[in-house]
Structure 1
């Protein structure tokens, strides 16, 4: 299967919920929530892509970084590159319904692990989806992370217990889903969380805990004070609040404020290995990849996911060579053209 063949198949299998555009920037699918688009005008989705693309890189070729080391370690796990598969769920709600959640997530998990990358699995308004996701994760030896929606605290803890039983090596909560329309349409209650609520949920598990959906310095520092192990700088792919800045706009200030306090992950608009390097140069320790892997899985199942990651890895390696970065530690602000 070629990359072009995978994308062509995905366009058909996604049943119009994603047009598999040449540039996935949210323009064609603006307002399509439910669906794969951004909220309202789609400006937050578009800002993720445009703000990251605006980061220009210094090309440096007088150096010895011919074979860069892209490996990354977190929570005792080592990966082939600093990328996690984002917790995208909801095949029947957002992805056209051609495949079941179990089919989709099995391809995501297998393709990610075969690529040396760890998957994050999530839950939705349809409770069976989390059960399916965790069942598939358990089949894979629990080699992944479970991200829970910001339900009432007792429900979050109950679902964390399910993730623990499945063998997940870390858990988290995506507080940026507090305004997700697809949940309210199903009568499911989600809400913002107080520091006390976050701290209580964090204390309910011995696993590393991630808080996803941080877009300000204030929230980042509050998360650190609550004892979480990592944050994800994210606006939920532009799917919850119209008019937010792009992640690349706020990431540098958040990363600077959190330096030495907490691990900083980021997602939003990452489409290539060059984008991964950009996010790291802006201060992220690693990134999450979402929509491109939905396309890859719907177009080529696990093989499609592996194909997408193989392409991403080659792009990141090339970008590191061409910016003079022998390891991830070398990727800093110096590679950005100011």
Structure 2
């Protein structure tokens, strides 16, 4: 298995949902929601990629770092590298049925585990989406993190308790899906949450609580006040609100506000191990990978996901060596030019 065979197989199975562009920047797929593109003009998707491209690394080779340590501990989990599989649901709708929901979630959860890290599972208007994720998590003895839409608060708690019963080490809510019309149309209303509602969810669940979709320091502070264990700096891959800044642009301000108080994760436009290192330098504890792992899953199943993560691992190790960075849990901002 190699990257070309994975991409070749994925391109056929996607049937146009993803063109496998040489640079995955959201230009060709702008406005394709449902699909793999960004909402509206696609600007938010493009800003994610552009913001990371504008971060440049200082090449340093006069130092003693020869075997950088990529291992980390996130939410009590020992991971081989600070890369987590992002939650993606609605495979039939967004990927032209390239895989079944069950096949996709199994590929992400089992592939991540084989590579020494953990994956997240999604939620959506059809129970099949959440249930397929739970099946994959149970199959891997609880090694997976279910992510729930910002449903009515009691429903969030109900699904979180299902995750805990399955042995999941944490659960999350992608609050950036607060305006998803397809959820409301299916009789499952979603919406923003107050600090009090977040606190209520935290106080009525037993495993760590992640809130995904934070793009401002004040929202991050609100999550901390509510007792949330981790946030994901995310604009939903550019698929929730057009014209938002890239996540790499806002991450330093959010990290300044809450890093050390809670775990700070980030996604958006991460396409290489060097991008992972940039996000760590900007203040993240770990990153989430979405589209790159979707290509791995569609093009190679479990082994494809493992291959992509190992590719990122090799790239991250090389980038750390060439910037003099010894450990992923101590990445100085000075490695950025």
- The TM-score bracket by the shorter chain reads over 0.9
Deviation of 1:144 after TM superposition, in Å, equals: 1.5
In the alignment, what sits opposite 2:56?
56
Q: Which position in structure 1 is the counterpart of 2:158?
A: 158
1:332 corresponds to: 332
For the structure 1 residues 113 and 205, does the alpha-carbon distance in structure 2 shift closer, same or farther, using more than 3 Å as the test?
Answer: same
After TM superposition, the score normalised by the length of structure 2 is 0.98
Map 1:69-108 to 2 at 5 A. 69-108=69-108
Provide the C-alpha distance between the structure 2 equivalents of 1:184 and 1:94, rounded to a whole number of angstroms: 18
Q: For residue 198 of structure 1, what is the aligned residue in structure 2? A: 198
Question: Residue in 1 aligned with 2:24?
Answer: 24
Q: 1:187, 1:295 → 2: CA distance?
A: 31
CA distances 1:259-286 after superposition (whole Å, capped 9, x unpaired): 3211111000001000000000000011
Q: 2:122 touches 2:146 (CA, 8 Å); kept in 1? A: yes
Contact 1:30–1:37 (CA under 8 A) maintained in structure 2 = yes
Query: Which residue number corresponds to residue 258 of structure 2?
Result: 258
Structure 1 pair 237–129 and aligned structure 2 pair: CA distance change class (3 A): same
Residue in structure 1 matched with residue 127 of structure 2 by the alignment? 127
Unaligned runs of 5+ in 2: none
Residue 43 of structure 2: aligned partner: 43
Closer, same or farther: CA 12–182 of 1 in aligned 2, 3 Å: farther
The separation in 2 between residues aligned to 1:18 and 1:185, in whole angstroms, is: 26
What is the CA RMSD across the aligned residues, in angstroms?
Answer: 1.1
Q: For 1:51 and 1:60, how far apart are their aligned partners in 2?
A: 23
- The CA deviation at 1:330 is 3.5
1:213 equivalent in structure 2: 213
TM-fit CA distance, 1:181: 4.4
Deviation at 1:95, TM superposition (A): 1.0
Matched residue of 1:118: which SS? coil
Aligned equivalents of 2:299 and 2:25: distance in 1?
Answer: 19
Distance in 2 between the 1:103 and 1:171 partners? 21
Whether the 8 Å contact between 1:33 and 1:182 is mirrored in structure 2 is no
- Alignment-derived partner of residue 295 in structure 1: 295
State the match for 1:183 in structure 2: 183
Distance in 2, matches of 1:189 and 1:37, equals: 24
Give the SS at the match of 2:172. strand
Deviation at 1:248, TM superposition (A): 0.5
Q: Distance in 2 between matches of 1:38 and 1:149?
A: 19
Against the structure 1 CA distance between its residues 185 and 31, is the aligned structure 2 distance closer, same or farther, given a 3 Å change threshold? farther
1:8-31 C-alpha deviation (Å, 9 max, x unpaired): 110111121111111111000000
How many positions carry a matched residue from both structures?
337
Instruction: Please tell me whether the aligned partners of residues 277 and 316 of structure 1 are also in contact (alpha carbons under 8 angstroms).
Output: yes
Q: How far 1:124 moved relative to its partner?
A: 1.0
The structure-2 alpha-carbon separation of the partners of 1:17 and 1:181, relative to structure 1 and needing over 3 Å to count, comes to farther
Structure 1 residues 194-229: Cα deviation after superposition (integer angstroms, max 9, x where no partner): 111111011111101111000001100000000001
